[in-house]
Structure 1
Amino acid sequence: MVDTFHIPKVDARTQDCITDEQAQFFLDNGFLVVSHVLEGEELARIQAEMMQQVELGMAGQNDDPDYMYGKGTKSGTQVFRRVEYVIDKSDPNKVLLGHPFILRSVEKLQGPNFIPTWDSMVLKMPDEGIIVPWHRDAEKPEGCTDPRPIFNVDFYLDPSDLKSCLWVIPGSNRWTRAEAIERCRREGFDTSDAIPVPLEAGDVIFHDIEVLHGSPSGDGNALRRTVYYEFRPGEIEAEFGPHTREYLSLKQQVLLDCLKRRAEADYVQDKEPFMYAPTGEFALTETVAPSTHRYPHREYWRE
């Protein structure tokens, strides 16, 4: 474990967006921690809604591909580990997508034409969290020279300690693919060049899709629920995919709808709402209420 690495303190209560210095830390290291993003009634509502999803998953949803399971290392039984499309499954998660601190920070890193893509919840079930081996979420598209990052925003609904927290390898987002593959091939969950990132409920991690991260299997761990929203620069997605151009337009309308829902929510007190104002080919000339908030990825892959 790396003992001397300094993580900057970013507090969403005292600023309305990440600073230039904090943005540079993220670009250099592949992750950034922001505390106190979710508080009070908003946090409580999301926790309650996602506990309903935990209960559904524990009851067994083997016929629904949105609910995913893994083999528990202690019991050997199927253990609930992930659920997809959580924005569609929860109104508070729709409101969450419109969070102004998050969207201003995404815009700072990706520009005005950012697109929300994936949304899910990943779990460490009590006392038997499924191991997440060292990995990159994905690689930047081959041939892409755009320096803007593709990244996830990870909303922590429960505290995480050394038994359940995420581990990251700072700076590995700048490694070559070969270097990342070699590191991931090491046996066991080696943390010699990594740091743990314990958090409190309501805290957030921004993590680049290319930063190496993971977490060991749980033994005596408490429940850890993390909601993930991924964002991509529209220009990169339009040129390289993997989604079609139609998908990007649909997800822009989902974002507009979620911003409207946040403005109408009586349990959030944002000082200033975020204004989504994409430009160029991504500029919006009309608002169309989405018929759904769930657009299955496989139906919008490029040929």
Structure 2
Amino acid sequence: MDTSLTRTQVFQRDGFATTGKLLSPEEVETYREIYDKLLSGEIEAGDKRSDLGSHVPRREGVSENITQIMWPSALHPPLRELPLHSRALAVARELIGDDAMLDFDMMIHKAPRSGVPTPWHQDAAYWVDLPDTRAVSIWVALDEATVDNGCMWYIRGSHKEPLRPHRPTSDGKNIECDCSEDEPGATAVPLSPGEAVAHAGQTLHYSRGNTTDGTRRAYILNYRPAEMIRLEREQGADHGLEKNERKVRNRNAEDSES
């Protein structure tokens, strides 16, 4: 990062900016424990668990190439009381404005030697059209994130250009667009555990497959203006939140009756 510029200026110029440490080593360990319970199924994810790499054949015995779990904080509400949500919100408000609120959160996990890249895309290509396009995703590393295990790559300045044409992946479950690491402005962003990088909704990004013997756990929190979240919800775009909260309420009710 250019130290002569503020984090907000870098974000506005490049479409992404590192945040520094958001979690201490002890806090990282707490998040890892919860994360692994969601991965193992000890905390049920139901239909909010999917495979971002489902267009690539899986190795024998592997349930997902790239595990995605939407709304972990709805599946496990104590996450909302841990420090990351408030710290990430403060960063989001610094970057896109004081009206920023949490839109959704998710986990994206790349298991050892899974080797499947996350396709190039822009998050906004997944979303409904809104009159105010301000949005920021804060990608938090819970493990050392390296080029070889799947740290984030961005195309600097791509958030200032029109959205590129996106197409469904070969199985039709996700989307991708044409881009590569050779494109001008392509930048890898390695991170240490507890560090994060923030990117705009229009910023082109991807990550390589994990070709190492270690795991790559990432927790992502997405923010946008509160009024835009209200408009999203009016259009039925809640990123699966209501289903998750209904599932949690039903499970809690069953537990109280047993």
Q: Is the 8 A contact 1:128 1:221 kept in 2?
A: no
3-state SS of 1:177 partner: coil
- Alpha-carbon RMSD across the aligned residues, in angstroms, is 3.5
Distance 1:37 1:25 in 2: 18
User: How do 1:63-212 and structure 2 match up within 5 A?
Assistant: 64-69=46-51, 70-71=53-54, 75=59, 77-79=62-64, 81-90=67-76, 93-96=79-82, 99-139=85-125, 142=129, 144=131, 146=132, 149-163=134-148, 164-178=150-164, 184-186=177-179, 189-193=180-184, 194-212=186-204
State the match for 1:219 in structure 2.
211
How far apart are the structure 2 equivalents of 1:135 and 1:52? Answer: 29
Relative contact order: is structure 1 or structure 2 higher (C-alpha 8 Å, sep ≥ 6)?
2
Structure 1 gaps, min length 5: 1-6, 10-18, 249-292
Larger Rg: 1
2:256 aligns to what?
A: none
Which range is displaced more, 72-81 or 125-134?
A: 72-81
Amino acid at match of 1:26: F
Distance 1:149 1:96, change over 3 A: farther
Query: Following TM superposition, by how much is the alpha carbon of 1:102 offset from its aligned partner in structure 2, in angstroms?
Result: 2.6
TM-score (norm 2): 0.74
| Cα distance change, pair 202–176 in 1 and its aligned pair in 2 (3 A) | same
Higher strand share: 2
Question: How many Å separate the matches in 1 of 2:208 and 2:25?
Answer: 30
In structure 1, distance between residues paired with 2:101 and 2:236? 12
Q: Residue 22 of structure 1 corresponds to which residue in structure 2? A: 7
Deviation for aligned residue 1:209: 1.2
Cα displacement (A) at 1:246:
10
User: Is the CA contact 1:158–1:225 (under 8 Å) kept in the aligned structure 2?
Assistant: yes
Quote the Cα distance in structure 2 between the aligned partners of 1:92 and 1:41.
17
Unaligned runs of 5+ in 2: 168-175, 247-258
TM-score, structure 1 normalization: 0.64
Equivalent residues, number: 229
